[in-house]
Chains A and B, each alone.
Chain A
């Protein structure tokens, strides 16, 4: 049971490039989340999903897109990378919305 896995661990992007951050969970959780963590700050919710085919915006969705075609996968897409998107990105999952969330190890993204 791997839990929540994220790839890549680290990436450097040039301004204007695009990329997809991958997130997979093997716990059959319905709820999945994407957060970003900026230095000295707590985590901010970007997007979340309550099940396959259903996604919704969180607190800071601008510049990102998501899809949820399967229960296991919840990729995060950056279309036109900007320096403001330099951050550490965490994916999380939970069985129900009111239960504990389990976090992946994070993806460190640097946009130059």
Chain B
């Protein structure tokens, strides 16, 4: 079946450090891929998405490229800020009823 695997957290970085959060997936067909972010005490917000192979999603300095050959969608940011501290979820959307399959989430803590 479809599944998403993320690197385990928590990830602790200093401000302005480079961020990578790994995400790999297993899916039949050609799913869409998403990164959602959950700030403390809030619901999930869409951060970025990619709908086909080699697409790059980007938003707020974050980027992720849909790599079909490695079944990956790693999240990157060149210089993190304290305000980026949150839990990040990788997810895939199959084309059967629009069901999102989530990874377990990766907590990011950025220290000043």
Q: Are B43 and A106 in contact (CB under 8 A)?
A: yes
Q: Identify which of A41, A43, A97, A102 contacts B98 (C-beta below 8 A).
A: A97
Hey, which chain B residues are within 8 Å of A100, CB to CB? 34, 46, 49
Question: Quick one: given A40-B104, A103-B44, are A45 and B99 in contact (CB under 8 Å)?
Answer: yes
Q: Are B44 and A90 in contact (CB under 8 A)?
A: yes
Question: Quick one: given A90-B44, A105-B42, A105-B43, are A43 and B89 in contact (CB under 8 Å)?
Answer: yes
Number of residues on chain A facing chain B (CB within 8 A): 27
Binding site secondary structure of chain B: strand
A98 at the interface (CB under 8 A from B): yes
Question: Quick one: given A41-B105, A103-B45, are A94 and B89 in contact (CB under 8 Å)?
Answer: no
B61 at the interface (CB under 8 A from A): no
Question: Quick one: given A41-B104, A42-B89, are A90 and B97 in contact (CB under 8 Å)?
Answer: no
Interface footprint category on B: 20 to 34
CB distance from B90 to the nearest CB of A (A): 9
Nearest-neighbor residue (CB-CB) of A108 within chain B:
B41
Hey, which chain A residues are within 8 Å of B43, CB to CB? 4, 90, 103-106
A50 at the interface (CB under 8 A from B): yes
Question: Quick one: given A40-B105, A42-B89, A103-B43, are A56 and B97 in contact (CB under 8 Å)?
Answer: yes
Encoded as 1 (CB less than 8 Å from any A CB) or 0, chain B from 92 to 106 comes to: 010101111011110
Of listed B45, B91, B98, residue having the most chain A CB within 10 A: B98
Q: How far, in whole Å, are A99 and B98 apart by their CA atoms in the complex?
A: 8
Question: Which residues from 32 to 46 on chain B have a C-beta closer than 8 Å to any C-beta of chain A?
Answer: 32, 34, 36, 42-46
- State the 10 A-B residue pairs at the shortest beta-carbon distance, nearest first: A97-B98, A42-B102, A103-B43, A103-B44, A105-B43, A42-B104, A43-B102, A106-B43, A100-B46, A42-B103
Q: Which residues of A pack against B, CB within 8 Å?
A: 4, 31, 33, 40-45, 48, 50, 56, 58, 90, 92, 94, 96-106
